[in-house]
Amino acid sequence: MKKTVTMPELKKGMKKAVLCRWNVEPGQKVESGSELFETETEKAISAVEAEENMTVLRLLVDEGDEVEVGAPLMEVEM
Amino acid sequence: MENKKPEWLRVRYNMREVNAIYALADGLELNTVCRESGCPNIGKCSKCGSATFMILGKKCTRNCRFCDVDCGAPEAPDPDEPRRVADAVKRLRLTHAVITSVTRDDLPDGGASAFAAVIREIREMTSATVEVLIPDFRGDREAIDTVIRESPDVLGHNVETVKRLYPVARPQAVYERSLGVLKYVKDNYPSAMVKTAFMVGLGETRDEVRELMRDVRETGCDLLTAGQYLQPSEDHLNVVEYVTPETFADYAADARKMGFLGAVCDPLARSSYLAADLYRDALAVREKNGETR
C-alpha cells in the first residue's frame, strides 16, 4: 500500500522545519525504528524514525528545504 | 545541509510512540510537561512509555524567560485531576511517577493541596514511587508542609540558574528563596530525597556553577540534574554557549565530590530526565552508606 510520510509536529506550536538531511534513498527497504530524516527544531536536531517497515519510493523535498508541518516529505510502500 | 546545533543535541523521535503518550494524556484530559515545554527528550521517554505530568492547568502565573510553558490567566483547579493522573500512572505501568505543576501564585496554597492529593491517589491506585517537582510556593512553609505530609519519595524544587542570572531568567523568583525551600524540606523531612535542577549555557561561568552546586549542597539537597539551556523560541533568552559533554562530566564529578547522592549532568538532562534511575541509584548509595529511609 502506497503512503505519504509528512512533516510531523515535533514540538508544540511547530509550524514548519528545515529538512536537514535524508538518511534514506529511493528504492531502499527500511525497517521500523530506522532513521528516515533529520530536521532541526528550536531545541535539538531531531532524527525521525520509520513507524513501520517500508520501502522508499520517492523523496519529495530536497535537503535544506523548509517544510510545513503536515506537508508530504516522501512516498513509501508499506 | 549542515546542522547548526552540536551533534550532542541530536535526539530521535518515533511519532507512533510519542502519539501514544499524547493520546493517553489527551484521553484523560491531562497535561505533560514533556509536551508543554517542548522537551527534546520526548522521543526517548516515550520509547520507555514514560511521561511527566503537569497538574493545575497549562497556564503559568510566572513568565520565566527560559521556559516554553504558556503564561496567562490560569484555569480553575480540577478536583478530579489527581485521580486521572494516578489512572495514567497505572495505565503506563510507571514504577516511578514524576509530577510537576505550573506555578500558581493565584492560589492561596500555591497548589500544594493538589500535589498532596496526587500523591495520595497514586499511592492508592499504584505501587509507583512518587517524585514531585514543586514551585517555590512563594516560600510559604505551610504549603511546603502540605506536600511533605504526604511523604513523596523525591521532593524536587529547581534553582534553574546561577544567582547572578535570576533577574534576567527568573525575574519573579529569588535565588535565596529557592535555596530556602530545599533547606526547609531537608530540615523537616530528612528522610526525603531532595532534588534540584539547573541549566547551563545562559552565560554563567564555571565558578558560578560550582558556587551554585555548593550552595545547593549546603541545604542538604541529595540529587541534582544539570542540562543545556535550549532556547524555545526567538521570544526567549538566547543560548550564550553550547556547553560540551566534557564540561558536563566535570560538573558530575564535582557533584560527587561535594557529596550529592546522585547527579545527572548531560546536555539533554532536564529535571525529570532518567528520574527513576537517579532515584534508585541514590537509594542504593544511601543503603550502602547505612542510612535508612
Instruction: Work out how many domains chain A is built from and give that number.
Output: 1
- What integer pLDDT is reported at residue B291 of this predicted model? 73
Domain containing residue A73: 2-77
Please give the residue that has the higher pLDDT: either B49 or B247. Answer: B247
Please check the confidence at residue B293 and state whether its pLDDT lies above 70.
no
B38 reaches A (C-beta below 8 A): yes
Q: Are B9 and B230 in contact (CB under 8 A)?
A: yes
- What integer pLDDT is reported at residue B73 of this predicted model? 93
A38 reaches B (C-beta below 8 A): yes
Q: What is the pTM of this model?
A: 0.94
Question: Which residues of chain A have a CB within 8 Å of the CB of B230?
Answer: 42-44
Chain B residue with the nearest C-alpha to that of A19: B1
- What integer pLDDT is reported at residue B1 of this predicted model? 52
Contacts of B171 (CB under 8 A, 6+ apart): B63, B64, B65
Question: Which residues of chain A have a CB within 8 Å of the CB of B38?
Answer: 11-13, 41-43
Q: What CATH number corresponds to the domain at position A24?
A: 2.40.50.100
The pLDDT tens digits for B166-177 are: 999 999 999 999
- What integer pLDDT is reported at residue B90 of this predicted model? 97
Nearest residue, CB atoms, A20 vs list B1, B11, B230: B1
- What integer pLDDT is reported at residue B44 of this predicted model? 92
Dihedral sign from CA coordinates of B221, B55, B277, B96: positive
A42 reaches B (C-beta below 8 A): yes
Task: Name the band, by pLDDT with cuts 50, 70 and 90, for residue B2.
Answer: low
The pLDDT tens digits for B274-283 are: 999 999 999 9
Question: Which residues of chain B have a CB within 8 Å of the CB of A61?
Answer: none
Structural domain spans, chain B: 7-288
Task: Characterise B137 by phi-psi region: left (phi > 0), alpha (psi -120 to 50), beta (else).
Answer: left
- Placement of cell 550552595 in the chain: B215
Task: Name the band, by pLDDT with cuts 50, 70 and 90, for residue B3.
Answer: low
A11 reaches B (C-beta below 8 A): yes
Average pLDDT over residues B69-83: 95
The secondary structure of residue A61, as a DSSP letter, is S
Are residues A45 and B230, on separate chains, in Cβ contact within 8 Å?
A: no
Superfamily of domain B7-288: Aldolase class I (3.20.20.70)
The pLDDT tens digits for B245-277 are: 999 999 999 999 999 999 999 999 999 999 999
Please state the three-class secondary structure of A42-60 as a single string: CCCEEEEECCCCEEEEEEC
Flag whether the ipTM exceeds 0.90. Answer: yes
Amino acid at position B142, single letter: E
